[in-house]
A and B are shown apart, each in its own frame.
Chain A
Amino acid sequence: MRFDLRVIASRIEPGSRVLDLGCGGGDLLAWLAENKQVIGSGIEQDKTKAAQCISRGLSVVQGDMNEEVDDYPDKCFDYVILSQTLQQVWEPARLLYSLSRIGRRFIVSFPNFSHYSIRLQLLFRGMAPKSEQLPYNWYDTPNIRVITLKDFRRFARDVGYRIVEEIAIKTDTDAGSGCIIRRFADLRATYGIFIIEKQA
């Protein structure tokens, strides 16, 4: 399993109810079911991937996460996970509000746009930066937003979310290996993972 998913999985208590948005082939859900007896559900837009999840015994709804999250009752999950997708979401504030409604906690992860290599590219080349985490040209990227760790902290504070834990990591997009960054995270982390609660 990907390093960032392993970090997320390590924070989830055994037996929790978990919703994984954009669950892909279901690696995280399968791992959680197997190792933490988690009652998991997923949402996946891609028909083939959704079918793959169901065929391996996972509970997955094929559909658009922005619409699907509206149908769940309040607080019906312990954790809702939005992994490496926030940068592609059209209305992030609305989606995050839904996540805070249906989950006791939600976990968001995204590539950190304030990584030093990105800062240097912009500074020295004067062109829209590309990295392993954000490998697309400006004109054909699915990533419609650029987010830094600091941006997200400020956003969470402004809308009244409490950040329970912030984990900065360094890993490649599909790599199984990686490490947690503790010093100068804003510059050195390739991804940020935030565990969030709605303030009462």
Chain B
Amino acid sequence: MNQATETYLQVGSAGISAKRFFTFAEPPHELVLESGARLGPVTVAYETWGRLTSARDNAVLVCHAFSGDSHAAGFSPDDQPGAKPGWWDSLIGPGKGLDTNRYFVICANILGSCSGSTGPSSINPATGTPYGPEFPMVTIGDMVETQRALLDHLGIDKLHGVIGGSVGGMQVLEWCVRYPQRVRAAIPVATTMRHSALAIAFNEVARQAIMTDPRWQRGNYYDSEAPHLGLAVARMIGHVTYLSDEALRRKFGRRLQDRDNFSYGLDVDFQVESYLRHQGSKFVRRFDANSLLYITKAADYFDLVDRKEPSRSIRDLAGAATRFLVISYTSDWLYPTYQSKELVKALKRVGLNVSFCEIEADCGHDAFLIPDKRLGELVGGFLGSVHRY
């Protein structure tokens, strides 16, 4: 590995950052959601890296994918030795794609999640108990509104850039459509303008796995045992869609787990079965089943093409000055390259400045989370040139 590569991938170089909280929309000034429902107060958990310039013009917002959180890079103050760094650590830090010597990087946990921002597991101040099924349905647009409120609070009027993968990429696009004048550069990665039937189908199977778990109890499980079995199965389904045929073959093939012959029973025979069960049980320790239901539904509702007035669609971006870098991965079958190309086509048609690159990778949708210097080079070069335009 040469010197340049090491800088790109140096683990934890973003340093230590603490999770912070911003609360707004206190009643009677609740946040009015896209559905018309009102929600308040709303808390947003967030972390930042780098320094905001006095002109407040170097902020880059990072939007996380559906099960992610605000801990995008470096370490937390209370991390144990050997802890893993944030989920996009390979991209955020000095000299990396999101260079913290140049940019003030912000990542906020999304509305509806369970990692510090308000979601179904938060306490409803009206009742003193968790919202559960009383939590209103939220959209990608509602998530963006909470991020906007946070930026207003931080005094950031204009973002140098906004970047995110998967459901995070949807937030990037929603940002551009809602607030084109506040975004100089946008980087939607491994994402889509709208969910395909295939993506909705997988999400529905995941939701059904949770809702058919008797412990789900229509979402009212916070004072009893959580529907961990259903949530684990939901994660197993999700995990398969994040990988690829090639990645699974390379990692597991048909190798057997701790045995030489088939069991001719329903126990774990194959390594891939064991791996999925492990992923499922690991996930239930950190994620809330109701959050999965709400966030997958928000992703399914997302559609930047067919929208009813007064919601703005991708066509309303005509005349915007935002520059785009669209990135897809060759083996992503959840949001395949053709969906990124549709986005590129739509952006070109309204006359926007757009760059597009498909990255060769055989590890499926998850490729955008796997440390790889190519993503950092694209992002760094693109963001660095934005001032020229």
Contacts and interface: CB of A to CB of B under 8 A. Distances in A.
Top 4 nearest A-B pairs (CB, nearest first) are A57-B385, A55-B381, A71-B348, A55-B377
Nearest to A70: B345
Interface in A30-83: 33, 39, 41, 47, 50-51, 54-63, 68, 71-73, 76
B249 interface: no
B354 A59 contact: yes
Given A62-B356, A73-B349, A57 B374 contact: no
Contacts of B354: 59, 61
Residues of A contacting B: mostly? mixed
16 contacts: A39-B389, A51-B374, A54-B355, A54-B381, A55-B377, A55-B378, A55-B380, A57-B384, A57-B385, A59-B323, A59-B355, A63-B341, A71-B348, A71-B349, A73-B350, A76-B351
Contacts, number: 65
A63 B382 CA distance: 18
Nearest to A69: B348
A34 to B, nearest CB: 9
A71 B326 CA distance: 16
A54 B353 contact: no
A57 B344 contact: no
Contact of B344 (A33, A39, A61, A73): A61
Interface of A: 33, 39, 41, 47, 50-51, 54-63, 68, 71-73, 76
B157 interface: no
A72 B346 CA distance: 10
A71 to B, nearest CB: 4
The contact size tier of chain B is: 20 to 34
B359 interface: yes
Interface of B: 323, 325, 341, 344-345, 348-351, 353-360, 374, 377-378, 380-382, 384-385, 388-389
A46 B345 CA distance: 18
Given A41-B353, A47-B359, A54 B384 contact: no
Contact of B357 (A33, A41, A47, A76): A47
Contacts of A51: 357, 359, 374, 377-378
A72 B357 contact: no
A72 B355 contact: no
B103 to A, nearest CB: 15
Contact of B381 (A56, A63, A71): A56
Nearest to B383: A57
Nearest to A33: B388
A60 B355 contact: yes
